[in-house]
Amino acid sequence: MRITTVCLLALAGASIGCGGSDATQAVALKFAANVDGAPARCGTTYTDLGTAGSSAQLASARMYVSNVELRDAGGTWVPLTLDEGTRWQGEGVTLLDFDDASAKCADTGTPGTNDQITGTLPAGTYDALRFTLGVPFALNHGDTASASAPLDEPTMFWTWNNGRQFLSVDWAVDDGAVPEWKLHIGSTACASSGPPVPPDAECGRPNRATIELDDFHPDADVVAVDLGALIAGANISTNVADTPPGCMTGLTEADDCSAPFSAIGLSFETGACVEGCTGQTVFTVASRAR
């Protein structure tokens, strides 16, 4: 799906730089967060959210992305070689951070933000983007104290058993049933002897979404991330009794979690993509300003 929204274009662009050799090219994949088309910012009150038409401010907006690939002119998916060793990228994983720790984002946000994935590709033309929303199993359950950036972020970590939150989007809801309606998606049904112990095998519900965007050109487009679409089918003004606030991916939270999971193409019951996650509605392609 392609959209062209002026407010998004003012936020971000995508570029292919000149830093590569004759055989490679530097790439910056830009992401622009929005709420139903309006720029996503801490301190802004958004209205008509979810099924109850709630009013709320963002309190957190971050996500891990891995396994980034682009499709070349021959139809082959080519892995992006990430720039490593930065605050936001390492070990093949990028942390996208759309909150700046201001206003309602002050409790869990960090002052810095990151809206891009940078790396290199073989020289050529590319027309589609594919990535995983999540952290690979081999890296997911490691201790944040010994991990390198960006996997060292403690506010994105649950326990060694479940690992990291792949996506964290929280809302401070006006007159809500709970102070914040939290959407934290990560792996669940992970078998180990207890919360401090990492699992030896993949979790029963991996909850990693594969996002594929056709007609994406890295020198001309951005990835629009609609945080409003994430909760379009949820009622963020209420909370199911005796469950955590919002959707924390608990196995008993189907009422709060099914709609957000569907928005990124996942089945809440299995933790797997439904039809390749092609039904996701959160990530789309937007043309950047010319």
Quick: pLDDT tens for 76-131: 999 999 999 999 999 999 999 999 999 999 988 888 999 999 999 999 999 999 99
Q: By C-alpha distance, which of 176, 190, 67 is closest to 117?
A: 67
Q: Is 40 exposed, middle or buried (0-12, 13-18, 19+ CB in 10 A)?
A: buried
pLDDT in the model for residue 5 = 42
Q: Within a 10 A sphere around the Cβ of 149, how many other Cβ atoms?
A: 16
| Domain count within the chain | 1
pLDDT in the model for residue 10 = 38
d(CA 201, CA 19): 40
Torsion, Cα of 112, 142, 194, 67 (10° steps): 80
Go through the chain and tell me how many residues it has.
290
What is the percent of the chain with per-residue pLDDT over 90, rounded to a whole number?
A: 83
Which residues span the domain enclosing 62? Answer: 2-287
